[in-house]
Amino acid sequence: MDFDLNVLGAIDLVNQQPNVREILGTVDAQVTIYFDRLILPLFGTDEEKDKFVYSPHDSNATDCVTEILFYPGMQVNLFKSSLMIETELNEECNRSVCGAILLAFGVGNGPSTAKDIINVLSEANKLGIVLVDASQCYNGRVDMGTYDTGGVMREVGCVGSANMTPAAAYAKLIYLISTHRRLSGCPCDFDVGEVKELMEIPLRGEFDM
């Protein structure tokens, strides 16, 4: 489905370029926004405005972030396949998964007794895959310091999602990867350290401190 905000007469399209009457995006299984048809916000510093500029290499960020549900008895080969650690895109890129939302137990407790799973997480972290510890619970907060099982997740390099829903954590990770990519041939070439740091900082009130 295409959408054209010009048909909504009650809305002042302050973010659309003058005299542009093209569709602004499409909605189907994914949402695609044509950022080149929008104008920059009129507020903030130049540095803040730059964050709104997207280039074509950002458009496939949803293809490199996955979501994995932990469950008792998880097989390590299936878990490793989900992270696609051994899958190479091309000579310039050694992986096709840049980040993963891990749906853990309770307050973010991982399978600490499953050493093979923990080893895979550690390997993924060393490769630069951003691992976000989320919870399967509908309410509550991820706290990787409450129990030893959560501490293991922190030790292997996971970052917490606080009280964000898995969907919010997924959307935020995609946004951060998209806006911190370098201009190279690899979609996973981005500032991993900064993305991990920003995942644990509320940027737009997406979680409580």
Asked whether residue 86 falls in the same domain as residue 66, the answer is yes
194 three-class SS: helix
Asked whether residue 93 falls in the same domain as residue 149, the answer is yes
pLDDT for 178 equals 82
Asked whether residue 24 falls in the same domain as residue 74, the answer is no
pLDDT for 34 equals 65
CA–CA dist 107, 126 (Å, integer): 24
The DSSP code sequence of 105-146 is BTTTB--TT-HHHHHHHHHHHHHT-EEEEEESSSSS---TTS
pLDDT for 93 equals 61
The CA-based angle 183-185-189, given to 5 degrees, is: 65
Asked whether residue 74 falls in the same domain as residue 164, the answer is yes
Tens digits of residue pLDDT in 181-204: 776 667 678 889 999 999 999 988
Q: Which residues contact 193 (CB under 8 A, 6 or more apart)?
A: none
Q: What is the pTM of this model?
A: 0.70
Asked whether residue 47 falls in the same domain as residue 148, the answer is no
Q: Which residues contact 98 (CB under 8 A, 6 or more apart)?
A: 61, 64, 65, 128, 129, 130, 177, 187, 188, 190
Q: Residue 30: which pLDDT band, with cuts at 50, 70 and 90? A: low
Asked whether residue 27 falls in the same domain as residue 90, the answer is no
| CATH code of the domain containing 186 | 3.40.50.40
Asked whether residue 42 falls in the same domain as residue 115, the answer is no
Domain that holds residue 151: 60-199
pLDDT for 16 equals 46
Q: Residue 124: which pLDDT band, with cuts at 50, 70 and 90? A: very high
CA–CA dist 53, 43 (Å, integer): 14
pLDDT score of 176 more than 80: yes
Asked whether residue 107 falls in the same domain as residue 191, the answer is yes
Domain count, the chain: 2
